[in-house]
Structure 1
Amino acid sequence: MTIWNDFLGCEVRYIYTPTYGRVRIVEAGKGEGKPPLFFLHGIGGHLEAYAKNVKPLSDDFHVIAYDFLNCGFSEKMDTVFNPVTLSKQLAEIMDALGYKKANISGESLGGWVAGTFAGMYPDRVIKIQLNTTGGIQITSEQGKKDLVELVELMKKSAGTPTYESTLLRMQWLMHESNHHLLDEELVGTRLSIYTHPDMSVANKSIGEFAASDHHAFDIPLDKIKCPTMFLWTRDNPIHTLDAAELACSKVGGARLYVMEADSKHWPQYEAPEEFNRVTRSFFKA
């Protein structure tokens, strides 16, 4: 099934923010009095990561997925790129859409931003779901090796991206049993983003963040006061399951859910039925 069949019934549009310019969003369930649910993608990603979640969850929520600053087809700026900047962008997006507070689910860097946002703006969060999130302690040697591998793959994609380098970058996201999901449309969509002329500006800021001391931006777990779910997989790279258990123990009342289906770093796309069921249950409770 094509991505755009998944998005049938959704609206794709651009909104404008005072500081961060144009933002591409996709949404469903708008204008029906439903609580907002924002989906935040990972580093080097884009809103198509949530093609299998926006419409199905719109029965219960006004679902919004969007491209971060310097990602996808949102504004490209020569500016600092980190979870704090992206949290400020999210605040302006919520303002533009008329929401004082919202539910937030983020994957990888998106989870890092969700957790950072919850610490910076506690009054603007209903619940958060940290999906294979970054911004927590790496607890294994394999995790450190995974991070090095990711940075190298990002460098190849940012240099002179090809279909092959983009495919390798996306295979890193998925369990090997799910590599068949990486069809020409999905990989081609990412390649078209990576080869856009404006990406040279974006790659500079993203690369600087990737090469920085990440611990300076760790999620302030002790400041998260809202209901929190850590959603994990048994094969997640960089942050293994014990890292998730440790981080979860530092957030009062947080719960950890481990996916049953084979999935790695993109469970929302690899196992959407399970992900959507668990996500709906958590945010509706």
Structure 2
Amino acid sequence: MAQSGNSMELSTNINAAQVTTAYGHRALPKLNEELQSEDLQTRQKALMALCDLMHDPEHIYKAMNIGCMENLKALLKDRNSMVRIKTTEVLHVVASHSVGRFAFLEHDIVRALSFLLNDPSPVCRRNLYKAYMQLVQVPRGAEEIISKGLIFPLVRKLQGEAEEEFQELILDTLVLCLREDATEALNSNVVPILKQKLISTNENIRSKAARALLNVREVCGPGGRSHWPASGAAALPHDRSAPECHQGPHHAGGGSRGPQGPAGVRAHLPCHGGGASRKASHG
């Protein structure tokens, strides 16, 4: 007579990377433990599972409270490139939520990520740029980038990155940072570099560089025009004759963020309040 028994082997149709999520309310604590594992595969599987879970803001909030963010910061220094790639992917997903942006500020994730600006993996750098781009959607995020002294490194990466997608992501970050404070950017020789981007063959790069230059000029204000390089001032009228620099949000590479002319340059992302000019008006 045949006897039935339970196999000790995993079913062939089970995704091993998802096994750790089968702990219900214990999923995040279990994954947090596995992030600290000495075993490489265990760390990688935990990160893959976290990439899925972090799409839920409630999971991000819980992850903050159990120490996940500190463990993710530690994994940014991992010798294994796949671990670093998946860690930056998790952080990019986290930064896409408001509670995740708070986690970035609370746990100093911005500075920890900055050490990967020269990571040899382009995928890792792409995730980093995406995370920064998401973070600066709120003024505090832009101020954090500025306060950590990252404008100059980002400007250098704008010059050094050959991938146009990467240049666009960096410009997206710089545009919103420059709306808050352009002092470091001016000290970083950003205007000549942005001027070079105005002649790029990529329309999005040209339009975003023009927006960044306009933001520098606007934030400088009447009292700061003496710091504005003459070469930068000369570049704008010439480039604004191009259709993509004045025809509206879509052509300016800004989606639905609002008017792109000097008078309306602050209209996109209403949560930004105008940076240095706003502070001056209240002073």
Q: Check whether TM > 0.5.
A: no
Q: Which has the larger radius of gyration?
A: 2
**TM-score when normalising by structure 1:** 0.29
More helix by share: 2
**TM-score when normalising by structure 2:** 0.29
